[in-house]
Structure 1
C-alpha cells in the first residue's frame, strides 16, 4: 500500500507560477499511490498569489478518475461572485472508502498573530489487509499556541477512536444511521505539521504511550532510525522559507510500525514550496 502526502500550495511552484498540470505530473512521476493526501488545495479562491480562481478540487479529481475524492475545507467563504471560495485538504483514494470524517481543529485566540481555521480529513479505506484510517491535516504556521492545541486534538481523537473500537455496540436501533461501521484505531496521519523535529509539538505527538491506545510513531524514525529527517521545504529557491528543514511528516499508529516498508522524500520536484512524502506499507 502506497500513500503520498504533499502540501501543493494550490499548485504554485517554487517559481511562483500556479500550474496544477505540473502538480499532477509530479504526482505521476513519484509512481502514484493508492491514497493521495494533499494540503493547501484551493477551490475558486480569489487573490491567492499566482492563482486565477482555479477549482483545484475539480482539476485534481478529474486527473485521477480511479480515485475517490474527499475534500475538507478549513476556510469556506463567499467568493465575491455568488459562489463559495474554499481552502483545505483533499484525499484521493483508489481504495474503497467507507466512513468519512471532517474534523475542525482548535483555533484558540492568539492576539496579534495571523491564522486561519485548520481541519483534518479522515477516511476509512478498505486496504488489502482490512479497514485502515487515513488522515491528513495542515497545522497552524504562525501560532505555536494554536499548533500545540491542534496536536492535543489529534491525540484526543486517537483516544476517542480507540475507545469506540474497544466498545461493543449498545442497544437495538433499526435506523441505519446508527449502524456500526468499521473505524479501527489503526491509522496513518500525514500532512504539514509546521514544526521541526525536536520542537515541543513534535515531542507532544510522540508522548508516552497510553493504555489501550495505539500511539503515533513517526514513520521516518521507524524506517530510518537515527538518521536526520530529510528536508521537506527550502530545496528549490522558493520565496519561503529560505533554508532547508523538515515540517512534513507521516505518522503511523504503533501497530502499523512493523509494516513500514519505506518512507522517502521526492526531492526533485519544484512544483510546490514543499516536497511530497511517500509511505509504503506492507500488506
Structure 2
C-alpha cells in the first residue's frame, strides 16, 4: 500500500503557474493521499472549487475535504439575491477504498500581531482498507512560530490518543425514537493504528517534532509503543536528508540551507512501524513549492 503527502500550494508550481492537474499528476499510483493547501473561492486560484476539480481529476478515488479556514465570500446579485459562498482553505484525503467516517479538528492558534497567522487543522479519515481498516490523518501545522506548532503537536497527540475511548463516529444501538439512525449501514470501524501525513512546518529534532516521536526517534529495529508515533524516514528512508521543501527564490539557500529542509512527514503508530518498507521523496515533481513524500506499507 502506497501513501503520499503533498502540499500542492493550491496548484501553483515552481514556475509560478497555476496548474492543478500538474500537481495532481504527481500523486498517480497512490492508494491513499493527503493533500494540503486545497481551497475554494480564492482569487489567487481563480475562484475555483478545487476539491471538486480534484475529484474530477481522480474519478476512481473516494475523497473528503476539511476546510479548517472558512470565511465569507458571498456577494449580492443585481436583483438583490445573496449568492452564498465561502472562501475556504484546507486539507483533503483521497483513497482507493471507502472513507467510512471523517472528522475535522481545528488546531490551537495564537493571536499574532506581526506575520501572517492562519487557523490550521487536522482531518481524520477512517479508511476501509480490506481486512485492516486504517485511521488516516491529514495535517497542516502553522508556519508562523515554534511556540504555536508546539501547542498544535500536543493537540494532535491528545486527539489521537483519546480515540480508543471514543470509539467510532456512532456506536451502540442504531434505533432512537423509532428511527434507524444507521441508515441500514454497519457501525464504522474504529482502528487504533494510524498514519499522520502532512506538512508539519518543522525540522527534525525540534520541540514539536519530539512531542510526536519522542527524544530518540526509533529505527525499524527499535522499541515501538502502540500509542507513540514513529517517523517513517527513520524506519525506511532511502537515504539522504529527505528534503521536501527545496530552496527557491522565495526561500533562498541562505535561509534554508543549500538543499532545503525536511518539513513534510509520514508518521506511523507503533503497530505499523515494522510494516513500513520504504519512504522516499519525489524530487522531480514541479507542481508545488513542496515535494511529494511517499511511504509504502507491507500488507
The reply to whether TM is greater than 0.5 is yes
Which residue is equivalent to 2:274?
258
1:194 corresponds to 2:201: yes
Give, in whole Å, the separation in 2 of the partners of 1:229 and 1:254. Answer: 23
Which residue is equivalent to 1:53?
47
Which residue is equivalent to 2:251?
240
Alignment of 1:1-283 (within 5 A): 1-28=1-28, 32-46=29-43, 48=44, 51-81=45-75, 82=83, 83-164=85-166, 174-175=175-176, 177=181, 180-207=187-214, 213-224=226-237, 228-234=240-246, 237=248, 239-240=250-251, 242=253, 243=256, 244-283=260-299
Count of residues in Structure 1 that have an aligned counterpart in Structure 2: 271
Give the conservation status (yes or no) of the 8 Å contact 2:63–2:99: no
Distance 1:142 1:207, change over 3 A: same
Task: Give the drift of 1:128.
Answer: 2.6
Distance 1:184 1:264, change over 3 A: same
- Aligned-residue CA RMSD (Å): 2.5
Task: Give the drift of 1:213.
Answer: 4.9
Task: Give the drift of 1:66.
Answer: 0.8
Give, in whole Å, the separation in 2 of the partners of 1:85 and 1:281. Answer: 36
Task: Give the drift of 1:180.
Answer: 4.8
Normalised to the residue count of structure 2, the TM-score between the two structures is 0.83
Task: Give the drift of 1:100.
Answer: 1.0
Give, in whole Å, the separation in 2 of the partners of 1:218 and 1:262. Answer: 12
Q: What CA deviation, in whole Å up to 9, does each residue of 1:34-58 have, x standing for no partner?
A: 1111000111212x3xx32222111
Q: Mind listing any 5+ residue stretches in structure 2 that lack a counterpart? A: 76-82, 219-223
Normalised to the residue count of structure 1, the TM-score between the two structures is 0.88
Task: Give the drift of 1:101.
Answer: 0.9
Structure whose CA Rg is larger = 2
Q: Mind listing any 5+ residue stretches in structure 1 that lack a counterpart? A: none
Give, in whole Å, the separation in 1 of the partners of 2:225 and 2:197. Answer: 22
Give, in whole Å, the separation in 2 of the partners of 1:229 and 1:149. Answer: 26
Distance 1:54 1:240, change over 3 A: farther
